[in-house]
Amino acid sequence: MFQHRALRGLGSAVPVRVSVDRTLRVKVIDACGMTCTFCHNEGTPVSADNRVPQSGAFNTVGPSGRASIYLATNGARFVAASVHPDESFRAALEQLREALGLTEVHLTGGEPTLHPRLAQLVALAGNSGYRVSVTSNGENGARILPGCVQAGLQRVNFSVFGTDPDQLATVQDAKFRRASLAAAKIKALDASIRVALDLGLGTRANIVLPDRSHVGRVHRLLERYSPRLSVRVLSSLADGEESLDAIDMLLAELGAEPHEVHLIAGTSGFRVTYRLPNGRVLVVKHIRPLRLPVTCAGCPFDNDTDCHEGYYGVRLYRDPAGIFHVGVCIRRMDLCMPVGEFIRSGLRDEIRELRDQEFHELHA
């Protein structure tokens, strides 16, 4: 098994589960009501700041205050347009399902719940043979999630960037760094989580732990919500050992005991599940240094400093002309290609071969 600090000392009694990544992330909208300074925006330019076509360059700073942190160097060639629940989207989903054996769609943004036809997108993806989940900051979930559940939504992952107004305000653009605005966002998130739980929707809260000063955020989440909310702590590659030290501190304070290791062949993410003394489950998600053996070879960002995500999986985008593009790296958006071209390319085969090889190696 690959070496990672999170796996040291777990002991052979902790079971290891191995699965295969069969997930497609679809950016359905670029709009977002938050201005988080660390946002990668799925690798694409912020649409609100790039409405006028650019000649080979995009605005990296604009009046929206939103960020796309890799844009200056990731070779992005298009602005992401909203996805429509039409036959072209259905065709793209079905082609990729057949080409890669995909089974699950994660709808992302921007903020997906701002999409006026999100429920129709959920229904279309479900009818195309996928399980459907949404990643959301919670700003509009209380209003739109009931319709999405009726359409077949199975899970929502809430990204929690702050559990108190001052904390959330500090990671927003300076123009919007107001505690009153942050308080309204947290109130909306709270309402969205409670609606999701009441609907019986699979509900997760994802929270990044950069250093020990943020440990209290996780305690507050666990205290505020019932065990029906699955809390997932994410390590921060940008903060390295500080982040891992913070996770160790949290686990010790909670008296957490390791319960299961979940390795996923074909993606850099892996998870360790812990049991708390009260029986509640806590999941810690880490990133391992996975690379596509051919595509990533010689990449200028292939180092521990620049490559934060590794090979994380396949993403789908729609451009303003209605063309769907497949991407495999938010740090290298120049690798994006139209769906038909991707399916005929060696990149598709490389992904399938990596998944198969990893599955056998991780089992061994």
| Rounded-to-integer distance, Cα 223 and Cα 191, Å | 16
Across residues 173-191, what is the average pLDDT? 94
Is residue 219 very low, low, confident or very high in pLDDT (cuts 50, 70, 90)?
very high
pLDDT of 271-296, one tens digit each? Answer: 999 999 999 999 999 988 899 999 99
Residue entry with tokens 């796309």: 68
Q: What is the largest CA-CA distance in the chain?
A: 58
Q: Is 353 exposed, middle or buried (0-12, 13-18, 19+ CB in 10 A)?
A: middle
Across residues 320-337, what is the average pLDDT? 97
What are the sequence ranges of the domains in the chain? Answer: 14-34+74-363
pLDDT of residue 87: 98
Helix, strand or coil, per DSSP, at residue 183? helix
Residue 173 DSSP one-character state: -
Question: Is-contact 104 125, C-beta < 8 A?
Answer: no
Residue entry with tokens 């507050």: 220
pLDDT of residue 56: 61
pLDDT of 107-131, one tens digit each? Answer: 999 999 999 999 999 999 999 999 9
pLDDT of residue 54: 58
Residue entry with tokens 């590659």: 237
Is residue 55 very low, low, confident or very high in pLDDT (cuts 50, 70, 90)?
low
Alpha-carbon distances of 226 from 32, 156, 188, 203, rounded to whole Å: 28, 16, 18, 11
Specify the CATH class of 14-34+74-363 in words: alpha beta
* Beta strand segments in the chain, E: 16-20, 23-27, 104-108, 131-136, 155-159, 202-209, 230-235, 257-265, 269-275, 281-287, 314-318, 324-327, 337-338
Is residue 1 very low, low, confident or very high in pLDDT (cuts 50, 70, 90)?
low
Q: Is 55 exposed, middle or buried (0-12, 13-18, 19+ CB in 10 A)?
A: exposed
The end-to-end CA distance of the chain, in Å, is: 8
Average pLDDT, the chain: 93
pLDDT of 239-277, one tens digit each? Answer: 888 999 999 999 999 999 999 999 999 999 999 999 999
Is residue 235 very low, low, confident or very high in pLDDT (cuts 50, 70, 90)?
confident
Share of the chain above pLDDT 90, in %: 82
- CA within 13 Å, CB half, 40: 17
pLDDT of residue 53: 61
pLDDT of residue 300: 94
Higher pLDDT, 363 or 254: 254
pLDDT of 7-48, one tens digit each? Answer: 887 877 899 999 999 999 999 999 999 999 989 999 999 999
pLDDT of residue 92: 98
Beta strands 269-275 and 281-287 are: antiparallel
pLDDT of residue 2: 65
Beta strands 23-27 and 314-318 are: parallel
Residue type, 255: G
